[in-house]
Amino acid sequence: MSDRNVFEDAVTRVERIGLDAGVAPETVDALRQPGALLTADLAVRMDDGSTRHFVAYRCRYNDALGPTKGGIRFHPDVTREEVMALALWMTIKCAVVGLPYGGGKGGVAVDPKGLSRLELERLSRAYMRAMADFVGPDTDIPAPDVYTNARIMGWMADEYEAIHRKKTPAVITGKPILLGGSLGRDEATGRGAFVVIQEYARRVGLEPENTRVAVQGFGNAGYHVARLLQEAGYRIVAVSDSKGGVYADEGFDIESLWEHKQSAGKVEGVYCTGSVCEVVEHRKISNEELLELEVDLLVPAALEGVITTENAGRIRAPLIAEVANGPITAEADSQMRERHITVLPDVLTNAGGVTVSYFEWSQNRQGYAWTLEEVRERLERVLTRAFDGLWHLHQTEKVSIRDAAYAMALRRIGEAIEAEGTRDYFSGD
């Protein structure tokens, strides 16, 4: 998908589902463009004394339901259109799970792997200096995303506090625990996806021991959902990261794959006992091959737009759980429906991250920390309630699960907009 089309694709989906769901035109109009978008040039001193410039973005898409919320990604392919699309998806996502948030997103066009640790810190602090008047605990609350983490969030929070001369832990979520972070935030996206998959499995009688799973993307989210699925009895037969993947019909031990990736920097078919890992029989595959495997459940957990009209006809999994944001384009989604492939949409499946970010924000504002058990219980409660709502719409209105999720979100956003008055109100209809 082209840079321009990623945003157009997101808007097209909102327009189509909004029309089918009977949402007021004012609601769809409000979601056709972002409320505010800031673009900045970050001048960063490099270790060799030179100065490099990086383009940075922050989008506050819609705040009808509350302050905007969304991650910051460091990736060489970050564009204005991608950030706007991600912020729109966050707007829908927060509404689906009933959080008092709108959607936001940010990013820097950079390859963070090419920076030293000191350069990464300077870049992170430069980002916050550029955005310090655009974000805030009651306005727009960032969080980690692709190639950012708790340490980077800690640097940004510290920079914001230095600028505003006061401790403000609620300005950013996904921070280190001792800087106001929440227990359970690192596993939240993967655990949330696991909860959603289990809720679906319970309703359709999907048996874990008879379910073969392929996971594209073995970062934080992909690892945790794979780990939890394996613990529940699912067979993880394929895993990949940006460098490629591995396949074994008998399945892998996820902890071994993760331990080896942390030490070797790549996914390898291994089994580890302590610090000793030995290679097990497996086949090396590409990310594209993984998507087309004959498995029972496909979990795209990498980047957006990996399933398009070009490869949609070759997807053989009957069930897809979108852990990445927007991994299936709108046109390819139509093909999924025509082929009766069930999609558990990203706006619910990966909502665990923003949900626990909301918990962190709440804890920061209360000055009170929750236990890991409390976080996990509340996360499951929020996502189960949301799944119940969209499943009811899916069944009663005979629409896809994605359309049900969007309809539920758009109606909630619409109710907030209508509360302030629409054309029908002011015309007396």
The answer to whether the Cα torsion of 392, 397, 403, 407 is positive or negative is negative
Q: Beta partners for 339?
A: none
List the one residue out of 351, 352, 334 whose CA is nearest residue 343. 334
List the one residue out of 340, 325, 417 whose CA is nearest residue 73. 325
Residue 242: Cβ-neighbour burial (10 angstroms; 0-12, 13-18, 19+):
middle
Max alpha carbon distance in the chain (Å)? Answer: 74
Question: Which residues are identified as catalytic?
Answer: 105
CB 356 within 8 A of CB 185: yes
The pairing of strands 102-109 and 51-62 is antiparallel
| H-run or E-run covering 38 | strand 36-45
**What is the C-alpha to C-alpha distance for residues 337 and 425, in angstroms, rounded to an integer?**
37
DSSP class of residue 102?
Answer: E
Rg (CA), the chain: 21
Spacing of C-alpha 344 from chain mean position? 13
What contacts 270, CB < 8 A, 6 or more positions away? 256, 257, 260, 277, 278, 279, 280
**What is the C-alpha to C-alpha distance for residues 10 and 218, in angstroms, rounded to an integer?**
25
3-state secondary structure of 7: helix
Q: How many CA atoms lie within 13 A of 50 on its CB side?
A: 3
**Would you say how long the chain is, in residues?**
429
**What is the C-alpha to C-alpha distance for residues 318 and 298, in angstroms, rounded to an integer?**
8
CB 9 within 8 A of CB 85: yes
3-state secondary structure of 380: helix
Backbone angles phi, psi at 116, to 5 degrees: -75, 170
The pairing of strands 342-344 and 36-45 is unpaired
